[in-house]
């Protein structure tokens, strides 16, 4: 599979990756994992920055890999995983996931595969979990606004004003097409 490796101190370099190894890494570890690569003169660590996928099969076709500087922190978007049961949702509320991933900053060794969010704190309609309520792993910080809503329990709205009666067929006007009767004569 074709790919390109680039970074702050790394010139953009095209490379070829074994597709089976790349898809295995994606399946087991996700996109926020540090990958060790060889073959560019020296071993280096990279992060998956972007993946181009086939629109039909969803198989990776190309990857952008970002070379990590030793000792430098990296910024990545990590997927959010929602766990637990919400009393509000069990009793009829909708669970609205506002964020599906969170932009974080961490040393490459501290990057989590995902961030778990326990939704059992949503006990009533209107309850929310904000970024400030998240428990981030050691060494991980986020610069997202602490008041940003991550997930909430929302009341299910039922439209009671919808008229389900059959329409009055006599009130429907029919536009005549073709020649007028006067023109036909």
List CB contacts of 118: < 8 A, sequence separation 6 or more: 83, 84
For the segment 62-120, what is each residue's pLDDT rounded down to a tens digit?
A: 999 988 887 788 888 888 999 999 998 888 889 999 999 999 999 888 888 889 999 99
164 belongs to a structural domain: no
10 belongs to a structural domain: yes
pLDDT value at position 33? 78
Closest to 65 measured CA to CA, from 115, 113, 17: 17
Same domain, 85 and 130: yes
Same domain, 112 and 150: yes
pLDDT value at position 4? 93
Q: How many domains does the chain have?
A: 2
Same domain, 80 and 142: yes
What CATH number is attached to the domain comprising 118? 2.170.120.20
Domain of 145, in residue numbers:
75-154
For the segment 22-75, what is each residue's pLDDT rounded down to a tens digit?
A: 889 888 877 777 888 887 778 888 888 889 999 999 899 999 998 888 778 888
Same domain, 48 and 81: no
List CB contacts of 19: < 8 A, sequence separation 6 or more: 1, 59, 60
What CATH number is attached to the domain comprising 29? 2.40.240.10
Summarize the confidence of residues 135-139 as an average pLDDT.
91
Same domain, 14 and 59: yes
Closest to 11 measured CA to CA, from 54, 34, 44: 44
Same domain, 94 and 58: no
Same domain, 28 and 59: yes
DSSP H or E stretch at residue 34: strand 34-37
Summarize the confidence of residues 157-177 as an average pLDDT.
60
Same domain, 31 and 65: yes
pLDDT value at position 170? 60
pTM greater than the 0.85 cutoff:
no
Same domain, 79 and 149: yes
Alpha helices in the chain (DSSP H): 19-29, 87-90, 181-184
Q: What distances in angstroms separate CA 155 from CA 45, 100, 151, 160, one per listed residue?
A: 47, 21, 13, 15
Summarize the confidence of residues 7-28 as an average pLDDT.
87
Same domain, 58 and 81: no
């Amino acid at each position: 599979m074709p790919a390109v490796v680039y970074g702050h101190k790394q010139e953009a370099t095209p490379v070829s990756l074994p597709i089976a190894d790349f898809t295995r890494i994606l399946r087991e570890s996700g996109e926020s994992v540090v990958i060790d690569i060889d073959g560019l003169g020296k071993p280096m660590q990279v992060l998956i920055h972007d993946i181009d996928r086939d629109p039909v099969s969803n198989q990776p076709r190309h990857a952008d890999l970002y070379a990590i500087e030793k000792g430098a922190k990296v910024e990545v978007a990590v997927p959010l995983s929602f766990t637990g049961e919400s009393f509000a949702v069990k009793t009829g509320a909708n669970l609205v996931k506002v964020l599906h991933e969170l932009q974080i900053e961490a040393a490459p060794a501290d990057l989590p595969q995902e961030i778990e969010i326990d939704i059992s704190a949503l006990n009533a309609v209107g309850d929310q979990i904000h970024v400030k309520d998240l428990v981030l792993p050691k060494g991980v910080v986020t610069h997202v606004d602490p008041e940003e809503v991550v997930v909430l329990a929302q009341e299910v709205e039922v439209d009671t004003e919808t008229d389900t009666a059959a329409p009055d067929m006599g009130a429907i006007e029919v536009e005549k097409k073709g020649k007028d009767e006067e023109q036909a004569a």
